[in-house]
């Protein structure tokens, strides 16, 4: 949505633009990529962007999973959603960086940790290739049309707040950037019959078994705390957890496996005794 | 009034459909098509489109409803993708033979197993024998424009056949681009009201789709074959008329790019054409005489237009985004059959399968093989580009 909106903003300014996503499993919170190109001429190239002028990291926990800054151009700029100052952020390359606590801004303005409009304000701050005014107009168009006038205006305000609260600087480049050991077999090595789950290569599970590597617990913005003394063992939380993160122990008390918790908060919602409470994760909490 | 908007390929399809004022829209959701149907539901909800929106219980039912609706003489639209199109397969054979000019947008997506949600032409290519016209779009503007052209072509009394408009999943369906949306009045002026060939009407009863014995089937099929052949002329005319009315035309059955003095050329379809243009520009800048043929229709297939376009070529490559599992991709077998006896050496180039990113370098690799072929070097008849492992 952020990529689409920046493209729309450029088109509103009379330029040519292109924006497209690439995602895998269709589930909220899963890591996705989106690309945008802006030009004064017709854009024909439809390949994914490997060497961007601007890199936007909507969730700083991705930095620990993927070497996201690997292709960033030398003179390029990174925009990172983080409560940290640029100097505290280790992107793996030293680069011009704008940081903004878009999650807090989204929670203030939208009452939900949906950061794709707030981050647009920081993008306008990082580079004036599209003006904040155009971005806000595009947000009002895009969100207003789909979700009503108020959605348009509060999202536009979130972008404005992010523009004001963005911090500029240089990020650190200490982290070693290496691609994960993705298992890319030749056609001869590919297991026949697409039964990929049974195969393991170099400690890397592929296909259905790969959840052992994909710790989806990094996706959420909040996580539960459990007060055992208040728990009456009704098991409602255990029943409702969509990720199977709650384990039932012998005495009917519970154990939370936060490696896979996405912070949806359903467990806290169904608990009749307030034995479960949700809290913001990360330094901004 | 014309308006410039930032639209995805899917939204462009929906805007085009709205401008054509269909009266019945049977549908069933499937990624990456669903947003077309959702957008149309929004239009109806907001009072911008007056159509019956019929959620079906499967794609098989959606196509069945479309057939029933079109048989009563109303303009009908539906959209699907991948497995949805496969489930429609049985019903797809009815509209051509019943001469019902339904418009179906297929957002190309690979068919499983071994499938994802990304683009591959193994959903639409198998349907080219069903009797539907079949076109492929390169960008969002062309999607919108072709929706309007499609109804005018399909409903032309010289054609009266259903139309399948294909667009690449995600690379086009979910990509936002600058799109000029025509005004309602100019579309109304370009696209006359639908007047059906045959119509189910309780006041004047007729029988449609009865069992056909061997005494009649052959004539019906030949008639259909002639209609498809006749559509070639109408497609060219409608494209020209569209150009006059809206200022954009696409070349009809095929388009060419820098072909005037080209010695080697590649045939592409869908969004691959866009990235291939970049490769051609790069090679031209290096002084190489390369060109591009953009195949826009698989049915009717531009046999004669192609023979004209390849005159003087020393090598021709064909891009295929699906496989026939018999050495070649389907576009290649069609092209080579059309060009039999032309003397131009033709090779097949399979790439982008399952949505694998097509890079400018992928097309440069194809041209490199074509140059080798043109200078008498040995080149495989079919090359898989980007495949891991020795071929």
- A200 pLDDT above the threshold of 60: no
Three-class SS state of B15: helix
Q: Which of A44, A187, A189 sits opposite B387 (nearest CB)?
A: A187
Q: Distances in Å between the alpha carbon of B356 and those of B116, B119, B350, B352, B367?
A: 11, 8, 11, 4, 19
The answer, yes or no, to whether residue A205 has pLDDT greater than 70, is no
Residues of chain A with Cβ-Cβ distance to B364 below 8 Å are: none
> Which of A46, A71, A144, A146 should we substitute to test contact with B (largest number of B Cβ atoms within 10 Å)?
A46
In this prediction, residue A260 carries a pLDDT of: 85
Q: Which range is least confidently modeled, A206-220, B227-241, B319-333, B373-387?
A: A206-220
Q: Where are the alpha helices (DSSP H) in A102-205?
A: 102-110, 118-126, 132-147, 149-165
Residues A220, B151: Cα–Cα separation, whole Å: 47
Read off the pLDDT of each residue in B53-59 and give the average, rounded to a whole number: 98
Question: CA B24, B27, B32, B37: dihedral to nearest 10 degrees?
Answer: 40
- Residue A259 confidence (pLDDT): 85
E strand or H helix that includes residue B245:
helix B214-246
**Residue A98 contacts residue A86 (beta carbons within 8 Å):** yes
Q: Sign (positive/negative) of CA torsion A129, A132, A136, A137?
A: negative
Beta bridge partners of B255: B294
The pLDDT of residue A258 is 87
Distance of CA A163 to the CA centre of its chain: 19
Mean pLDDT of B108-116: 86
- Residue pLDDT, tens place only, A58-99: 988 888 878 899 999 999 999 999 999 999 999 999 999 999
Which SS3 state, helix, strand or coil, does residue B90 take? Answer: helix
Distance CA A230, CA A217 (A): 25
Cβ <8 Å between A20 and B31: no
The pLDDT confidence band at residue A201, using thresholds 50, 70 and 90, is low
Task: Give residue B79's pLDDT.
Answer: 98
Condensed to tens digits (0 to 9), the pLDDT of residues B338-356 reads 999 999 999 999 999 999 9
Residue A175 confidence (pLDDT) above 80: yes
Alpha-carbon distance of B40 to A211, in angstroms, equals: 37
What are the CA-CA distances from residue A274 to residues A132, A242, A244, A269 (Å)? 43, 19, 20, 8
pLDDT at B247 over 80: yes
B113 contacts on A by Cβ (under 8 Å): 194
Verify whether the Cβ–Cβ distance A186 to B388 is below 8 Å. yes
- What is the Cα–Cα distance from B308 to A224, expressed in whole angstroms? 69
Q: ipTM value, please give it.
A: 0.87
Interface of B with A (CB under 8 A): 4-6, 8, 31, 113-114, 116-117, 170-171, 174-178, 271, 274-275, 277-278, 357-360, 387-390
CB within 8 Å: B31 and A138? no
Distance CA A162, CA A122 (A): 6
| Residues of chain A contacting B31 with CB distance shorter than 8 Å | 26
Where does the pLDDT of residue A217 fall: very low under 50, low under 70, confident under 90, or very high at 90 and above?
Answer: confident
Query: In what helix (H) or strand (E) does residue A7 lie, and over which residues does it extend?
Result: helix A2-12
Name the minimum distance, in Å, from the CA of B357 to any CA of chain A: 6
> Worst-scoring range by mean pLDDT, A71-75, A143-147, A230-234, B211-215?
A143-147
Do you find a cis peptide bond into B300, omega within 30 degrees of 0? yes
- Distance (Å, whole) CA B209 – CA A111: 57
Give the C-alpha separation, B155 to B251, whole Å. Answer: 20
pLDDT for res A209: 45
Give whole-number Cα distances, B166 to B140, B292, B296, in Å.
12, 20, 10
Query: In angstroms, how far is CA B26 from the centroid of its own chain?
Result: 20
Longest dimension (CA), chain B: 70
Cβ B146 vs Cβ B137: under 8 Å: yes
Q: Is the pLDDT of residue A27 over 80?
A: no
Look up residue B127 and give its DSSP letter: G
All residues of chain B having their beta carbon less than 8 Å from the beta carbon of residue A184 are 388
Nearest in space to B270 (alpha carbons), one of B116, B87, B146, B102:
B146
Query: What domains are there in chain B, each with its CATH number?
Result: 3-246 (3.40.50.970), 254-384 (3.40.50.920)
- Say which residue the tokens 């499993």 belong to: A25
Contacting residues of A for B11, CB less than 8 Å apart? none
Q: Which residue has the higher pLDDT, B212 or B140?
A: B140
Element (H, E) at B85: helix B82-92
User: Kindly report the CA angle at A125 between A178 and A154, in degrees rounded to 5?
Assistant: 105
Residue contact A45–B360, C-beta within 8 A: yes
CA atoms of A282 and A115, how far apart (whole Å): 15
Contact criterion met (CB below 8 Å) for B82 and B41: no
Q: Test B388 with A185 for CB contact under 8 angstroms.
A: yes
Distance CA B198, CA B72 (A): 8
Proportion of chain A in helix, strand, coil states, percent, rounded to 5 = 35, 20, 45
Residue A169 is inside which H or E element, if any?
strand A167-170
What's the pLDDT band for B388 if we cut at 50, 70, 90?
A: very high
With H, G, I as helix, E, B as strand and everything else as coil, classify residue B171.
Answer: coil
> Whose CA is closest to A123, among A155, A150, A163, A161?
A163
* Chain segment A248-283, per-residue pLDDT in tens: 988 888 999 888 888 889 999 999 999 999 988 764
At B116, the pLDDT band (50, 70, 90 cuts) reads confident
- pLDDT reported for residue B269: 97
- DSSP assigned state of B187: H
pLDDT at residue A121 tops 60: yes
Q: Which candidate from B5, B170, B360 shows the least CB-CB separation from A20? A: B170
Specify the range with the lowest mean pLDDT, choosing from A25-29, A186-190, B211-215. A25-29
Q: Could you give the CA distance from residue A255 to residue A273 in angstroms, rounded to a whole number?
A: 17
- Both tokens of B377, joined, read 């070097």
Instruction: Write the residue in A19, A141, A186 that is nearest to B389 by C-beta.
Output: A186
pLDDT, mean over chain B:
96
What is the pLDDT, as a whole number, of residue A283? 42
Q: Structure tokens of B218?
A: 């052959």
Domains, chain A, with CATH or none? 2-170 (3.40.920.10), 216-280 (3.30.70.20)
Q: Cβ A20–B117 below 8 Å, yes or no?
A: no
Q: Whole-prediction pTM value?
A: 0.89
Q: Residues, chain B, total?
A: 391
> 């059959």: which residue's tokens?
B337
CB of B88 within 8 A of CB of B63? yes
Contact between B228 and B161 under an 8 Å Cβ cutoff? The reply is yes
Q: Return d(Cα B218, Cα B172) in angstroms, integer.
A: 39
**pLDDT of A285:** 37
Instruction: Give the pair of three-digit tokens for residue A34.
Output: 């989106």
More confident: A182 or B79: B79
Q: Residues A152-177: what's their mean pLDDT?
A: 94
Residues of A in CB contact (< 8 Å) with B are 3-4, 7-8, 11-12, 16-22, 24, 26, 43-48, 138, 141-142, 184-189, 194
pLDDT(A152) > 60: yes
Instruction: Tally Cβ neighbours within 10 Å of residue B347.
Output: 22
How many whole angstroms from its chain centre is CA A284?
16
Q: Collect contacts of A188-192 with beta carbons under 8 A, ≥24 apart.
A: A188/B389, A188/B390, A189/B389
Mean pLDDT in residue range A31-42: 92
Cβ distance A19 to B176 less than 8 Å, yes or no, reads yes
Quickly count: other Cβ atoms within 10 Å of residue A212's Cβ. Answer: 10
Predicted local confidence at residue A208, as pLDDT: 45
């Amino acid at each position: 949505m952020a990529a689409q909106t920046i493209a729309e903003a450029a088109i509103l300014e009379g330029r040519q633009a292109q924006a497209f996503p690439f995602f895998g499993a269709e589930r909220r919170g899963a890591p996705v990529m989106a690309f945008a190109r802006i030009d004064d001429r017709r854009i024909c190239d439809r390949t994914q962007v490997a060497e961007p002028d601007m890199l936007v990291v909507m969730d700083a926990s991705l930095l620990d999973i993927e070497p996201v800054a690997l292709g960033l151009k030398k003179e390029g700029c990174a925009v990172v959603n983080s409560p940290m100052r640029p100097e505290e952020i280790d992107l793996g390359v030293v680069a011009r960086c704008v940081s903004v606590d878009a999650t807090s801004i989204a929670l203030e303005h939208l009452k939900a940790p949906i950061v794709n409009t707030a981050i647009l304000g920081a993008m306008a701050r990082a580079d004036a290739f599209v003006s904040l005014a155009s971005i806000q107009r595009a947000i009002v168009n895009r969100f207003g049309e789909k979700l009503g006038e108020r959605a348009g205006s509060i999202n536009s305000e979130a972008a404005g707040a992010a523009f004001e609260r963005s911090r500029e600087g240089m990020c650190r480049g200490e982290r070693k950037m290496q691609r994960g050991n993705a298992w890319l077999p030749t056609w001869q090595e590919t297991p026949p019959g697409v039964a990929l789950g049974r195969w393991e290569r170099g400690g890397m599970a592929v296909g259905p078994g790969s959840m052992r590597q994909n710790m989806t617990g990094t996706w959420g913005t909040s996580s539960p705390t459990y007060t055992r003394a208040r728990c009456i063992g009704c098991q409602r939380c255990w029943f409702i957890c969509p990720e199977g993160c709650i384990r039932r122990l012998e005495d009917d008390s519970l154990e939370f496996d936060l490696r896979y918790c996405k912070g949806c908060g359903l467990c806290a919602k169904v608990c009749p005794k307030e034995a479960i409470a949700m809290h913001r994760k990360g330094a901004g909490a | 009034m014309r308006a410039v908007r930032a639209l995805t390929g899917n939204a462009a399809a929906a805007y085009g459909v709205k401008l054509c004022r269909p009266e019945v829209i049977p549908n069933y959701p499937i990624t990456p098509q669903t947003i077309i149907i959702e957008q149309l539901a929004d239009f109806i909800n907001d009072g911008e489109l007056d159509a019956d929106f019929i959620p079906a219980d499967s794609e098989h039912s959606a196509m069945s409803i479309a057939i029933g609706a079109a048989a009563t003489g109303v303009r009908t639209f539906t959209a699907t993708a991948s497995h949805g199109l496969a489930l429609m397969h049985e019903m797809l054979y009815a509209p051509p033979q019943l001469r019902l000019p339904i418009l179906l947008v297929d957002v190309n997506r690979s068919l499983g197993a071994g499938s994802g949600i990304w683009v591959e032409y193994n959903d639409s290519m198998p349907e080219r024998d069903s009797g539907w016209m079949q076109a492929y779009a390169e960008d969002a503007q062309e999607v919108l424009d072709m929706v309007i052209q499609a109804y005018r072509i399909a409903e032309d009394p010289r054609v009266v056949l259903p139309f399948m408009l294909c667009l690449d999943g995600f690379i086009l369906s979910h990509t936002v681009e600058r799109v000029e949306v025509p005004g309602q009045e100019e579309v109304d002026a370009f696209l006359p009201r639908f007047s059906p060939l045959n119509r189910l009407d309780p006041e004047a009863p007729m029988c449609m789709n009865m069992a056909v014995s061997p005494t009649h089937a052959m004539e019906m099929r030949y008639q259909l074959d002639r209609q498809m052949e006749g559509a070639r002329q109408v497609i060219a005319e409608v494209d020209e008329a569209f150009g006059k009315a809206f200022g954009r035309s696409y070349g009809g059955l095929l388009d060419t790019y820098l072909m005037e003095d080209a010695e080697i050329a590649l045939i592409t379809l869908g969004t691959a054409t866009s990235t291939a243009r970049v490769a051609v520009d790069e090679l031209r800048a290096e002084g190489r005489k390369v060109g591009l043929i953009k195949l826009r229709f698989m049915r009717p297939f531009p046999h004669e237009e192609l023979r004209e376009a390849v005159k003087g070529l020393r090598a021709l490559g064909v891009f295929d985004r699906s496989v026939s599992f018999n050495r070649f991709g389907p576009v290649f077998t069609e092209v080579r059959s059309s060009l039999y006896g032309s003397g131009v050496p033709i090779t097949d180039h399979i790439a982008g399968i399952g949505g694998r990113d097509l890079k400018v370098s992928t097309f440069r690799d194809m041209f490199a093989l074509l140059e080798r072929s043109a200078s008498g070097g040995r080149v495989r008849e079919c090359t898989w580009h980007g495949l891991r492992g020795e071929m």
